[in-house]
Structure 1
Amino acid sequence: MSKPIGSEWSVMLISRLFLLNFLLLWQLGTGTPTFDDRIDEVESNGSLPDDEVSALQLLSKNLLSKDTTQLTLTHPICSTEPSSEIKCSCHSKKNQSVCSVIGIFLQSKNLDGSIDPSIGHFANLVVLDLLNNQLSGGIPSTLGNLQHLKYLDLSSNSLTGSIPPNLTKLHSLEYLYLFNNDLDGTIPQNLTGLQSLWILDLSNNQLTGPIPDSIRFCRKLIKIRLRLNFLNGTINETLGNLSSLTLLDLYSNKLSGIIPKELGKLSLLSSLILDDNDLHGELPKELGNLTYLQQLYLTANNFTGTIPTTYAKLINLKEFAVGGNNLSGPIPDYIGKWVHLTKLVLIGNNFEGNLPAQTFSLPSLKRLWVSDIVSNPGISFPEAVRPEPKSLFSLVLRNCKINFSIPEYIGNWSKLKYLLFIDEMQKKKCGRRHNSLFINSGGEEVDDGKNHYHNDTSLSSFNLSPSEDWAYSYAGDYLWANVNASTLVRNLTCEITNSKANIDNNFRLAPVSLTYYGLCLRKGKYIVTLHFAEALYSKSEDYSTSGKRVFDVYIQGRKEMKDVNIKEIPGKEHEERRLQFKVKINDGSLEVKFFWAGKGSLYNPPGLNGPLISAVSITRVPRKLHGWEIALIAVGCILFLLLLLAFMWRMGWIGDRELRETKVKIGERTFTLKQIIDATKKFSAELGRGRSGIVYRAQLPDLTVAVKKLFAHSNAVDEIATEVYVKKAKELKHDNIVKLLYIYSRRHLHLLIYEFMEVGSLGQVLFGTNSTAANLRARGTLGDLVDSRMGQNYDGNQTNIVLNLAMMCTEQSPSLRPTMSQVVAVLEGEKTLKDISEEIAPSISPA
């Protein structure tokens, strides 16, 4: 066939391009089928039983929340593709293929719903993998119906509630992964049904209670991970019967008691991780039988005694960590023969003697951490190290007695990055000395009131401030993380919410040792305040809430506090914690050191186990004054006080000057306010009292007035201070109302001066308990009080209002009497008796 040429070739090319474009647009329009679409497919072709189709529909409906787009499946249900999400087992029945779901693989699908109980309807299910989603709610107990299930992984979700006891009925189950959830309660006590189980991982939950004794029946167990929970009780000695066990990880729980010697029978064990518990006693010599052991972590407990000689047989050990205990005795020589060793952590104990010379030549050793060896003979470096260490990059010999000088050949170790022997800041000359120092650890320069906090964001292992009045140094490296910017300084803008958030949301970290040097401080006594905020071991997102940070605090070379746990320092949640120490400075310099001695959480992630500090403030304690200085200050204070009193008297702020100068005109006569107050016998000639104050008799020359002294807390005090009240009160005139002569209201004194009634108050005469008014009111004929000579020349309604108002003003309980402003409001028609009755007591209405 000849090749098309010219226009025929062009037409064919255009046609093919058009067809390809159509197919691409069709594919984009249809999109990837959803889970529901795939279920509709199997429902229409009848390849799955009805109950499994219904179960898939419920599963699809609940695995995603209503706010989430539908789940898409890459392959059809029952596809034979290796990456198919829903796998099936099919067989032929009456010339028709009949299938059943045997595998559900929906890991990392961003599922944010819950697991529907219908999951128990997949009778032939072998694998259920929902790892790494955001599923919430509980674990359905119907999972216990899946008798063919071998693999169950619900890890890294947000599941809550307890572990259903029905799961122990899964006789075929080989892998059970529930780690990284929020499960609580206890581990089901009857585990006898899990006889096929190989791996049990319940790490990073909130589980409590003991490790069930029935775990001894799970004889096929290879790995047990129960780390980062709140399990208590002791370690079961029956664990020694699990002869296939290769890993036992009980890190960071609340387990107590001793390590049972029966664990020495686990001949295949390669990893034993028991750190960060409350275990005690001596290290069992039987562990020396674990010749396959590669990891032995016993840090942050309370072990005593020596390292057993039987551990010489642990020739395959790669990681040996016993820091943060109370072990003593010599460091065994056989450690130098552990040729596979990569990590040796002995810090925070009470060891004696010397390090075996061969230790420095171990070919795989990466970390060598030792501390607190101060007794004889101390540590001596060998004259030469052959061969030179090829992997050692972190060497800590802190607070150790080192004999002779540090050899120069250490500088030739090519891999060595972190070296800590002793931190010492050389004395330096100061141009100016200070009485205080404030450092914003890990943060920028900031002012907190009058205190100026220095910037501390350098990433170098040593830094002298630009002002040269302070410095810091850090040393060591992390066990589970790399040293970088994020592992040295941090700023978490929303962790601390108090007034000092600019300081406490910053912090500086250090792997092993962190030292601050205060320089150029004046001689004297100081208060050192250390500010802490545990912002790393406090988050549910990374399951670090159970972690704890423990370190020691040294000031001027002296251990001031051992095993400081930031979370246990008194203080409120989401607020800074503080520690304060008194210190005396003689030579102008101050050393504050934080040292991680192997205790607390070696958590991974985040794996940042060393000391943490938010700020350091150093303030001088005022010195004690000499006797002559105290006398001089006292004389000066007395003279100043006398001058101040004289000035205040001259201004009229104290004494009675204002009272003597304030004139009160009564009729044609004028008196001073002091004369009127004296006339009350200094407020002792009491006439009566009410809710707002006490009335006194003031006997002036040829004149008597009534003086009402208001209580300071009375509402009347605010009323008489208004111009409107003063104007209305003075203008108000009535035959039956006592005339107000004068109002005085200044600072603590508030007075109303009235005409004096010779025969007592109008209320006593007209409305007393045995008065005519009281009797008439009782009979409902209060209007009879009106003078008969007035005939009909008065307003009956107004008369009734005035009489009832007068009765209210003479109530026995002051709290039931109206205020002056309420009386004026009624008389002027602005309010009714009912209005003020409801204001006084809603349940009382006028007669």
Structure 2
Amino acid sequence: MTSAEASKMVAKAISSSLLLLIIFSSFSLAASQTTPEDGERQILLQIKEGWGNPSVLGSWNDSTAISHCNWTGIECSADGSVTNISLVNENITQPIPAAICKLKNLSILDLSYNNFASSFPTSLYNCSNLLYLDLSQNYFVGVIPSDIYRLSPRLTHLILSANNFTGDIPPSISRLSALEYLILDNNFFDASIPVELGNLSNLQTLWLAYNPFSPATIPSTFRNLTQLSFLWMSETNLKGEIPEFIGELTEMFQLDLAWNSLSGSIPAGIWNLKKLRYLYLFANNLTGAINIDGPIGVLGLEQIDVSMNQLNGSIPEEFGKLQNLSLLFMYYNRFSGEIPASIGLLPALTGVSLFHNSLTGVLPPELGKHSPLWNVEVHNNMLSGSLPEYVCAGGSLTSIVVSNNNLTGNVPASLNNCSTLAYIDIQSNRFSGTLPDKLPSKLFSLNIDNNRFSGNIPSIAESLQVLKATNNLLSGKIPAVLTGMSELLELHLGRNLISGQIPPGISELKNLSVLNLSSNHLVGEIPAAIGSLQVLKSLDLSINQLSGSIPSEIGDLRLPTLNLSSNRLSGEIPISLHFPAYNRSFLSNPSLCASSEFLNVPICKHGFRWKLRILLIVLASLVSLMAIVFAVFVRRARHRRSNGRVLPTWKMMSFYPLDFTESTILSGLTEDNLIGRGGGGKVYRIVLENHVAQIVAVKKIWNCRKLDSLLEKEFQSEVQVLGSIRHANIVKLLCCLWSTDMKLLVYEYMENGSLDRWLHKKWRVGEQIEEMNSDHMPLLDWSTRLRIAIDVARGLCYMHHGCSPPIVHRDVKSSNILLDFEFRAKVADFGLARMLVKLGEDNTVSAVAGTFGYMAPECAYSRKINKKMDVYSFGVILLELTTGKKANDGGEYGNLAEWAWRYLQETDKMIDAIDQDIKNPTYVNEIVFIFKLGVMCTSPLPSSRPTMKDVLQILLKRPCQ
């Protein structure tokens, strides 16, 4: 090889080397540009694929120029590394991909409020830099693994609440020594609370509430949690006394030990916790007096709730030194003595709930003068004196409940100008004098029953929904202005000295459901206009001096409660009122007669003109019947033939695997299969011709043009709710069918029908309801009723606390509780249900909905829906189960809830309230306990009602016989 050739080869080699170097450098540069940007981007796409490419992650798309740091739920550091994945309430169902831990700088992972249903994701052990992990409000199952300590040693927040974890909390969790927040509430842990939790010396917040732990005392090792500021252990099966060392946890800000079986007294050391703001000890077995030992004046307590215990003694005067105290809840105890006057001087006080004690003396004279007081509840005590003059001085008072005391004097004139006042309940006292000339403009409920008020009925606020003034000394005529109160739902003026006539303008009260004017001095005729009150459920005009005939229009109302006895009425009782249910509705009207024997009035003597009238009525009925039959025939003929046009196309949406078709359902919609009729349509029982001989219930929505819009919403609501939830105590919606003419909902069939049918001995045959004698229908024994109550509570608890967003039923009643062949109960009929938009946020509706007797009082004045409305309705069901009475069977008190409240005031008569069918000495104490729970659930104020979760736990932990 010549030197020239050699030089040429060297040059070529150098050139090739330079080219390789350039190419390598280019690849190196490209590689350097994909780290971490493109690398993390690709990892996120792997995660998306692992989750089945849900639509919510549509922005996670490699084809777009959008940086992955701007994708949904992603936050990055300055160099593009993913540090935070927050995908809350996105309906993700697939397990958490292991690829998530390839994001080496991931420090925050929040996947709460999704639908994960796997075991605990141990793949997260590889997320070595994780500081914050939130998997709450999902459906994770099984035990928490014993090697959970393998999570990041830097982890400060571990949030696993509201899942389905079982077994024990592994003691090894204490090896996560950096933990500051450990949130494990609302699961199914049933072993002992591990004492090793006391080793988490950095712990600031510990939530263990609502778990069925083995009964035990508060672990003594908890005294080592010196940084603890929030301890939540409600419903954790705690027993024994509150340990003295609680007073050593000086960082404690909130202490909640409610709904347990704690006993003994409150340790005095608690009052030494200078940072304590909220103290909840209600619903335990604590006894004794509250003893304060220490400088309570330096405490920052804002809320004290020691209600529903057995605490006695007097309320310490030292409470008046708690300058930050906002809420004082000490109801359902045995406190006696006077309410310290110093409580009226507290500058931050907003709420006082001291009801159901044995308090005496007067209310603090300056209560409300120095603070923005908004609620006072001191009912069912033995208080005397008058209402404080300054109770509304703070300009925030919305509610005052002082019923069932010995209060006297006039209502303070200052209440006239209390523009915020919405609820007044001062019944069953000894108030006297005249009422203010004009009531507060925002007042929606006024109850002054059983007092000594005199004078005329005052001008009523336009917003008033309920006026109860029974058993007073009111006189004069019913003012014309009263008939203009279009929002009025209940008007109770019985047992007064009211005179004059019933004004015809009463027909303007279109929302009126209860009208009681009994035991007065009314004269003249009953206005026929009353017949236009289409929502009226109870009418009592008895013991007056009313004359003339009974308007036939009243019979069109089909009133559940009607009493016109002891008047001077004359003539024939309209045919439309000839029902056995009215057999005592017309007594002591000597000039009344009827053509039926069961109304307890003389039989009318009719001549030729009467017979001719009857004949004309019969002929008219026959003509109408023929017209109806002809119209049905024509409609069916059009439906079948449609004049050669194509029959409506049916669409079907199923929520479970089905082995039947729409034609099977449609062929079963016959009169022979009709089993019921509801507000939204007819219900059929259809036996399917398949290999399992399945039976289904089919609800056919009415096809009425005037209701099309409303029923369309109802249909969509029911499908949306039932199609998305699964629970053993909620009826299954198998599928839905719809066409342009009709909508059908197909449910699982419940063999034993509704609770209403068994509890009130009613049997529906076709479209007729027959009252059944107990000899022909088995009785519901107490154990069955109690099991039904627990089943319903489980279903509602799941709707309120297990669904995201939570669901409010809005029409809970005994006829919407269905029973299977074993009498296990399921909640049904979600036509009125609404899914709350956000957790903890009320939704609004445009109209009052529900059923009389079951509707909470706030339904009348507020369009906002909330979970406490269902709690009220469930409370009515508890009262039905224990008393056997119907929801609207409250006699002079209007409804069952009001009647039950009266009975609770007379504990010596509690036994008389129990349904005779279940009055077994073995169960009496338990039945009385459930009766009281029903009364608690039907408290007029939503804030005084427990949650459904609380109610369920009370039922499960009811006292043994």
Higher relative contact order (CA 8 A, sep 6+): 1
TM-score, scaled to structure 2: 0.42
Structure showing greater radius of gyration is 1
Higher relative helix content: 2
